Amino acid sequence: MVGNFKLNKSIIGINLLICYREAIFEKRYLNNYLNGENNMKKLLSIFAVLAFAFSAHAGTLDDVKNRGFLKCGVTTGLAGFAAPDDSGEWAGLDADMCRAVAVAVFGDRSKVEFITTTGKSRFPTLASGEVDMLARNTTWTISRDVNLGFEFVGVNFYDGQGFMVPSALGVSSATELDGATVCIQTGTTTELNLADFFRLNGISYEALPIETNDEGKENLFAGRCDVYTTDASGLSSTRAAASNPDKWVVLPEIISKEPLGPLVRHGDHQWGDVVRWSLNAMIIAEELGITSENVDAQMSSNVPEVLRLLGVEGNYGEMLELSNDWAYQIIKQIGNYSESYEANVGPDTPLEIARGLNALWTQGGILYAPPFR
């Protein structure tokens, strides 16, 4: 919590610095510096040029390349999506998304710095340029896409909001929750869905606002709240982390659509394309049956789309200002979507989430990537 406070403040500071730098340089004072009109203006323009030297304004892709690593905003810890594993390495579906982008840019899965964000700090963190992208199980909504000035580049997990209660309560449906105390992460779409759901069903509840998933866990396990509500995947993750998972049940109601996906700042289309196609490359690889195991053998495939994806044919890498084997490297180092899913959230993991909606469109799900051509 404390860390987040500080993060927010530093973001504001950086934001102002960026504002200052851009506007001064772009709009007003460079000419005055060159002409040397008067001292006051000269002083200011020296400042502007110093600020310019401090960090040249260019596209995010160039910034990332110059810096030498990617800054990726993730959750403060949600098993299966982004959480440090036993060896302290970040692991999860969202962590893989970050790594895939790092691989696309640098060809190296370790060239990424994970920056933790709460539900609340994530948007200012991205808007200020503190991170290059967010892969933080964030729901794609119109207000975030339009009003907040972000761009969702795709969906890496189709989710929906559910409820989890102690099995001892004997509740079998969310409509029986009249009067319950509900733990809810603030600043999320789930907070709004929750109010809608209870209003629609004409039942009362008491909201206990919390900041992070860990806090929610703590309050739920201590009995401060009866119910925890968040995306169904998050519930599975929380349940898996309980000392005795059988003591908790996830109720059948799914009360919302939560398409979770990576997002970038609005207006930098080149960078948006890099992130979008890093995700799509993983999905297309699954469609085409390319895995980290067989990717080398697939280089000599006779399927044209495979050859295009792996960079054997065409110059799609160049178009994205990446190396031509960027997709090959993603598949080689991270794997295709299915591999990432099965390793992090699939039925064989403690989360035990079946593919469901997240299966390919050819297999009964809605996962669908545009053609690679």
Residues engaged in binding other proteins (CB under 8 A): 1-2, 16, 18-20, 22-24, 27, 119-120, 123-124, 127, 143-144, 146-149, 169, 177-181, 186-187, 191-192, 194-196, 198-199, 205-211, 218-219, 222-224, 226, 265-267
Smallest distance, Å, CB 56 to other proteins?
A: 17
Nearer to other proteins, 17 or 343 (CB): 17
Smallest distance, Å, CB 342 to other proteins?
A: 34
Smallest distance, Å, CB 230 to other proteins?
A: 14
CA distance 114 to 12: 20
Nearer to other proteins, 45 or 338 (CB): 45
Nearer to other proteins, 55 or 291 (CB): 55
> H-type helices in the chain, by residue range?
2-23, 30-35, 39-54, 60-67, 93-106, 122-127, 142, 189-200, 213-222, 232-241, 269-287, 295-298, 304-309, 316-319, 326-333, 337-344
Nearer to other proteins, 49 or 148 (CB): 148
Name which of 150, 18, 156 is nearest 97 in CA terms.
156
3-state secondary structure of 371: coil
Smallest distance, Å, CB 329 to other proteins?
A: 32
Nearer to other proteins, 60 or 236 (CB): 60
CA distance 322 to 116: 27
3-state secondary structure of 187: coil
CA distance 103 to 341: 18
Smallest distance, Å, CB 169 to other proteins?
A: 8
Radius of gyration of the chain (CA): 23
Smallest distance, Å, CB 158 to other proteins?
A: 23
CA distance 12 to 174: 40
3-state secondary structure of 355: coil
Give the Cα-Cα-Cα angle 264, 62, 337 (nearest 5 degrees): 50
Nearer to other proteins, 7 or 127 (CB): 127
Smallest distance, Å, CB 19 to other proteins?
A: 4
CB neighbours of residue 16 within 10 Å: 11
Task: Record the tokens describing residue 283, joined without a space.
Answer: 């999905």
Nearer to other proteins, 253 or 325 (CB): 253
